[in-house]
Chains A and B, each alone.
Chain A
Amino acid sequence: GAVVSQHPSWVICKSGTSVKIECRSLDFQATTMFWYRQFPKQSLMLMATSNEGSKATYEQGVEKDKFLINHASLTLSTLTVTSAHPEDSSFYICSARSGTHNSPLHFGNGTRLTVT
């Protein structure tokens, strides 16, 4: 089946530094990728939608200059948290879809980010 690999699975960084999270579709071409954030005991909240080769669309309240998304190829999307702060500590999950709107969404295993 379709596999989405997310790396790293966990990362600890110091406040003010930047962290990059990678999301790869291993055996299919992901025309669209979604980035979610999940705080403890909360739902997955959509941060942004990215289509290969175009700029990401951010949800209201998500700072595009702070959460940089690059979807440069059909198998790779990256999320960079710039100038991270403790309040950015969260669980970040990517999902990928190939093809049309009714194609299944496949999820990565998530990245636990802790900013100290």
Chain B
Amino acid sequence: KQEVTQIPAALSVPEGENLVLNCSFTDSAIYNLQWFRQDPGKGLTSLLLIQSSQREQTSGRLNASLDKSSGRSTLYIAASQPGDSATYLCALLGYIAGTALIFGKGTTLSVSS
């Protein structure tokens, strides 16, 4: 059974810092990996999606990497801003058709001005 772990559970940084969020998974047979952002009491916003054949994806100040062999992904946020404060969720899609995303518990990020 796939298990997704995100470390740290919470992170506080001052504005302007670069930071890395970590996601590890136990089963490397994945179809793709996604990073989401969730604001308190809200739904999910998809940030980046990495297919299993890819190593990384970039969007603006965000860069996500994927290393299937080690069962790890990282989300790098450059020059953090207070508006980046949210919970970041890592989710995996397995190969079996019809299955759903499996989520980690998330990392709650707080960026202070």
Query: Residues on A close to B: CB < 8 A?
Result: 6, 32, 34, 36, 41-46, 49, 51, 91, 93, 95, 100-102, 104-105, 107-110, 112
Contacts and interface: CB of A to CB of B under 8 A. Distances in A.
Contacts of B32: 102
B31 A101 contact: yes
20 contacts: A34-B101, A36-B100, A36-B103, A41-B105, A43-B89, A43-B103, A43-B105, A44-B103, A46-B100, A46-B102, A91-B41, A93-B43, A100-B97, A101-B97, A102-B93, A104-B49, A105-B101, A107-B44, A109-B42, A110-B41
Contacts of B4: 43
Given A34-B100, A93-B43, A109-B42, 4 more contacts: A43-B89, A44-B101, A100-B97, A110-B42
* Closest 5 pairs (CB-CB, A-B): A109-B43, A43-B105, A34-B100, A107-B44, A44-B103
Interface of B: 4, 31-32, 41-44, 46, 49, 89, 91, 93, 97-106
Contacts of A6: 43
A43 B106 contact: yes
Contacts of B105: 41-43
Contacts of A41: 105
Contact of B98 (A36, A44, A101): A101
B41 A112 contact: yes
B4 to A, nearest CB: 8
Contact of A107 (B43, B93, B97, B106): B43
Nearest to A33: B100
A95 B101 contact: yes
A43 B66 CA distance: 21
B89 A95 contact: no
B103 to A, nearest CB: 4
Contacts of A51: 98
Nearest to A47: B100
